[in-house]
Chain A
């Protein structure tokens, strides 16, 4: 194999990441985990989910860009991976929008919240 080393095209494309960078990311991730567990002790009301998701997303971005070296990757790979989240977003948003909307609409969802609007006999 070593016979083929050298500067030929199509060889030597490895891009090792520096170890301190990897370790640094790991430390930050751990700290963020501690943070997210810690903040759960405070009742932030409806902001809670937002805070939690922001922390999770920061962690995800770190894992994605450094551990998965997306930050140094070919644009096509990045487009595909990030594109998938666009479609996940569409999927969840539309479905959730419908399910929330239909509650206020003419179809109360009766799974639990029974709105047995009785008619007059």
Chain B
């Protein structure tokens, strides 16, 4: 959108422009506008309306979230435990800071502080990259564990960290690494050729891309630290916040293996301890629900809690089985879905249950990440223009519009974070 207001109005015919108007039109003012203010207002309203479409675009996923959470609160609560709150919180902070630098950049461009504008845009970009780096850790970790959308869901609590799978983190990092190397080459070449402006552009962009790896590093540290604390203290959530922070310090250097043990632990744990653990175990442990009477009693007891719709479903399926055996009308509901008994026991793993949470998680955070990527693209364009000192107090529209977009991306994350990570 912002591109439409760029200074050069490439009209098909400039001759018409040449009579009468020229003295009135600075180079940054498109031919069909009368004043810079009109141009700015048009662009701004256009941007706001674009943000409106973005809000409604995301609303579809928030709606899906609301529906499925209201249907299966237990699944959402259980699955939310797999998300690392600390990584989410750090990312929230990073995004908030980037929003702040962006807002500052708008101010700087309005005040015609060109250097400051460029620096602030670059730091916004760095934050965006750190965000993506942390996200890369989060995603690759879950992909390795098989915590994927319903159709691909392969998580197996008895073997949460299957070895020998593809190294997803490498796949995610590869394009960024290639880009970083490319920019480095560009930097060197432009330096050698003495292309000063290009060199000036390449410098901050290289820093920006390196920040992605800072994010990856940060994510790795927090991931291991977070899981460690989670694993050892998983029932004591009350102390979580404080504990996490110093566990991070203590165990920062430790490898990921500590984390791995925890999942097994949780899965094999007796279900009586803490509610969240119960939910996970009930949800995913395959052996626990098969037909022994003891288990049935446990399920009955748990299902008495009305929020446990999943277990109620389990029970209902068993009921259906009994009824069928007693000669009632059988309903041939899609076999994999529910009513037939086959589904009840074969699919205790329930990719169709936990999978939906992760589907929504990936859809929401994924589309959000795509917006971040798009934002990075636009911000780099903005950075180059800022270095070129294109903006002045009558023409700072692009900075403002991109800023609005960036704040909206932040705004969406502000809601995503508690809805996804903080379910209790």
Contacts and interface: CB of A to CB of B under 8 A. Distances in A.
**Does A pair with B?**
yes
Interface of A: 1, 4-5, 9-17, 19, 22-23, 25-26, 29-30, 33-34, 36-38, 40-44, 48, 52-53, 55-56, 59-60, 63-64, 66-68, 73-74, 76-77, 80-81, 83-85, 87-88, 91-92, 95-96, 99-100, 103, 109-116, 118-121
9 contacts: A1-B392, A1-B395, A9-B35, A14-B394, A64-B407, A68-B404, A92-B59, A110-B333, A110-B337
Given A36-B422, A67-B102, A121 B52 contact: no
Contact of B418 (A10, A53, A111): A53
Chain B interface helix/strand/loop/mixed: helix
Contacts of B251: none
Given A96-B67, A113-B312, A19 B323 contact: no
Contacts of A19: 104, 107
B67 A95 contact: yes
A95 B70 contact: no
Given A33-B89, A88-B56, A118 B320 contact: yes
A11 B260 CA distance: 62
Contact of B414 (A16, A56, A66): A56
Given A22-B100, A80-B52, A96-B70, A60 B415 contact: yes
Contacts of B66: 92, 95-96
Nearest to B317: A114
Interface stretch (B90-98, B182-190, B374-382): B90-98
Contacts of B319: 116
B99 A63 contact: yes
B71 A111 contact: yes
Given A56-B414, A67-B99, A92-B62, 8 more contacts: A1-B28, A14-B393, A37-B241, A40-B85, A63-B411, A83-B52, A112-B338, A118-B320
Contacts of B85: 37, 40
Contacts of B31: none
A79 to B, nearest CB: 9
Interface in B406-424: 407-408, 410-411, 414-415, 417-419, 422-424
B192 interface: no
A63 B107 contact: no
B100 A26 contact: yes
A121 B254 CA distance: 63
B367 interface: no
Residue among A13, A91, A121 having the largest count of chain B Cβ atoms under 10 Å: A13
Contact of A110 (B27, B56, B241, B338): B338
Nearest to B240: A41
Interface of B: 26-28, 34-38, 40-41, 44-45, 48-49, 51-52, 55-56, 59-60, 62-63, 66-67, 70-72, 85, 89, 92-93, 96-97, 99-100, 102-104, 106-107, 110-111, 237-241, 275, 309-310, 312-313, 316-317, 319-320, 323-324, 327-331, 333, 337-339, 353, 392-396, 403-404, 407-408, 410-411, 414-415, 417-419, 422-424
**Residue among A48, A55, A81, A100 facing the most chain B CB atoms (10 A cut-off):** A81
Contacts of B393: 5, 12, 14
Given A33-B93, A40-B85, A109-B71, A4 B26 contact: yes
Contact of B34 (A4, A10, A99, A119): A10
Given A63-B411, A80-B52, A26 B107 contact: no
Contacts of B407: 63-64, 67-68
Contact of A41 (B51, B103, B241, B317): B241
Contacts of B410: 63, 67
Contacts of A4: 26, 394
B38 to A, nearest CB: 6
Nearest to A99: B67
Contact of B92 (A10, A33, A92): A33
Contacts of A110: 333, 337-339
B339 A116 contact: yes
Contact of B100 (A25, A36, A42, A73): A25
